[in-house]
Structure 1
Amino acid sequence: MKRCGWVKTNDVLDRTYHDTEWGQPLHDEQALFELFCLESYQSGVSWTTVLHKRQAFNQVFKKYDIAKVAAMTDEELEAMLSNSAIIRHRGKLFATRNNAQQFLQIQKEFGSFDAYIWSFVNHQPLDHKVSHYQDAPSQTSLSEQIAKELKKRGFKYVGPTMIYSFMQAAGLVNDHEVDCSFNPNHF
């Protein structure tokens, strides 16, 4: 099997994430929220580190139940700072609650976050036909536009690079290498 060049083949979580999730069009609200949060935690650390802390993040953030995360108290968030199983960054942890609150506002306004975010790509994944993963951009004018929109709506820890990574991960853009066995265009 051929995988994208960024995959650490000696890491089972990297392989599994690439093979079963990354770049597959995602439409489930809770899964979109979890992925959005995980991408926001990545700034300054490797994606592999985030993946290895994913289970612990799911536990402390109530399986990313959006309403429950939106209602978390300052005390609950502060207590997470002593949990070595997660990335202990106060700003990112508090941003998770804030972003859940903003997520709920988007759901209220647009019916779902899925409808909102996918509208930026006309509800069809953009296919960049990447021959090597290093040819994929780290951000685009579209990810800049989305980041600005989300910031205006009150989201935290969102920038064009984070948003582009989210777009790749959630399948809004297909940046699987063209000869990758897991490229959605092969199914």
Structure 2
Amino acid sequence: MKDYRAIFDQLETSLRRQSSLTEQAFRERLDKFMHVEGKPLSDNEYYWIMVCVIFYSGFQASKVTAKLDLIRSYFADYEIVATYGSREVSEILSDKNMIKNRRKIQACIENAQALKAIVAEHGSFDAYVASFDPTESFENLMLLKEELEYRFVYLGKITVYHFLTDIGMPVLKPDRIVTRIFRRLGLIESEKQLLKTVLLGRKFSKATALPVRYIDIVFATYGGVGGDRDLGIANGICLEKNPNCLVCGLRDYCDYYAKRLQLSEIAGERSRKGKRKHGN
């Protein structure tokens, strides 16, 4: 049985050692993720989170982040966006500085229309979310997830979890970074095991008494290319290519590292045998 608390403690310690910030500053900036879950949001805040999920999906995060102000200038108010037609789409696409992806732009418009219909029916999007009582049980949370996938464009099997996490629901995002780390640790057998990844996030939360959102950001930063400037992290540790195993505190738990070590030992033994044979 895995010691989830020990794993997370080592993960957080390794990340902190990579930060250029003082320990106090690092802790203060990370602690803001302790208070995300349950925060009330306006209809436009829900919509903006959805817009961000759409634009970040499949794109390099740094490129999207650099254009967030411009994206917001077009998609700040869902009621206005819901009225967009072909003329507005053409205007957005003609902006030389804008991310030119018609599918994403169209998805933002369609989702504004869907959100407007929900607000008309429930009074607010917050009331709509609350109608599922998603924090009462995991089953209720999954019912909300399924409903969101059905009603909104671009909220697919992974991005819907991004949305849920970012609106403060107690759920881990099973993206390629988190699933990669979990697979290397032997927690999952395949990076396609999304539900198992989500459930493991809850186990980490229970073992550490930390919010799932906090768990999520630590894992995401640990394996993310480019790290997190706000946390003083220049680059992640458990990267897809060239992971920095030498500074990783999870080596004792990591199947991936054990296999690399074994292969290195085999290669070393073959090299030694070759030298002895050549010497003879």
TM-score > 0.5 by shorter chain = yes
Aligned residue pairs total: 152
Post-superposition CA distance 1:136-169 (Å, at most 9, x none): xxxx9945x445423443x211113111111111
Report the AA paired with residue 175 of structure 1.
R
State the partner residue of 2:51.
37
| Greater Rg over alpha carbons, structure | 2
Over 3 Å counting, the alpha-carbon distance change for 1:18 and 1:79 in structure 2 is farther
Post-superposition CA distance 1:28-49 (Å, at most 9, x none): 2111110111101222113333
Checking the alignment, whether the CA contact within 8 Å between 2:81 and 2:109 is kept in structure 1 is: yes
Report the AA paired with residue 158 of structure 1.
L
State the partner residue of 2:167.
170
State the partner residue of 1:96.
108
Secondary structure of 1:160's aligned partner: coil
Over 3 Å counting, the alpha-carbon distance change for 1:125 and 1:152 in structure 2 is closer
Checking the alignment, whether the CA contact within 8 Å between 1:106 and 1:116 is kept in structure 2 is: yes
Over 3 Å counting, the alpha-carbon distance change for 1:160 and 1:85 in structure 2 is same
Distance 2:129 2:68 in 1: 23
- Over the aligned positions, Cα root-mean-square deviation in angstroms equals 3.5
Checking the alignment, whether the CA contact within 8 Å between 2:93 and 2:100 is kept in structure 1 is: yes
Post-superposition CA distance 1:98-152 (Å, at most 9, x none): 11110011111111111212444545798xxxxxxxxxxxxx9945x44542344
Report the AA paired with residue 56 of structure 1.
L
Of the candidates 70, 79, 88, which is equivalent to residue 56 of structure 1? Answer: 70
Segments of 5+ residues of structure 1 without an aligned counterpart are 11-16, 127-139, 181-187
Over 3 Å counting, the alpha-carbon distance change for 1:88 and 1:147 in structure 2 is farther
Checking the alignment, whether the CA contact within 8 Å between 1:40 and 1:157 is kept in structure 2 is: yes
Distance 1:45 1:23 in 2: 28
TM-score, length of structure 2 as denominator length:
0.46
How far apart are residue 26 of structure 1 and its match? Answer: 4.1
Over 3 Å counting, the alpha-carbon distance change for 1:121 and 1:147 in structure 2 is same
State the partner residue of 2:148.
150
Over 3 Å counting, the alpha-carbon distance change for 1:37 and 1:18 in structure 2 is farther
TM-score, length of structure 1 as denominator length:
0.65
Identity %: 26
How far apart are residue 18 of structure 1 and its match? Answer: 7.2
Post-superposition CA distance 1:10-37 (Å, at most 9, x none): 9xxxxxx977689722422111110111
2:118 is the alignment partner of 1:106? yes
Over 3 Å counting, the alpha-carbon distance change for 1:116 and 1:34 in structure 2 is same
Report the AA paired with residue 148 of structure 2.
L
Report the AA paired with residue 99 of structure 1.
N
Post-superposition CA distance 1:67-123 (Å, at most 9, x none): 101011211112212324332210110111111110011111111111212444545
Over 3 Å counting, the alpha-carbon distance change for 1:125 and 1:26 in structure 2 is farther
Segments of 5+ residues of structure 2 without an aligned counterpart are 1-11, 21-28, 171-211, 219-280
Over 3 Å counting, the alpha-carbon distance change for 1:124 and 1:30 in structure 2 is farther
Structure with the larger helix share: 2
Checking the alignment, whether the CA contact within 8 Å between 1:39 and 1:162 is kept in structure 2 is: yes
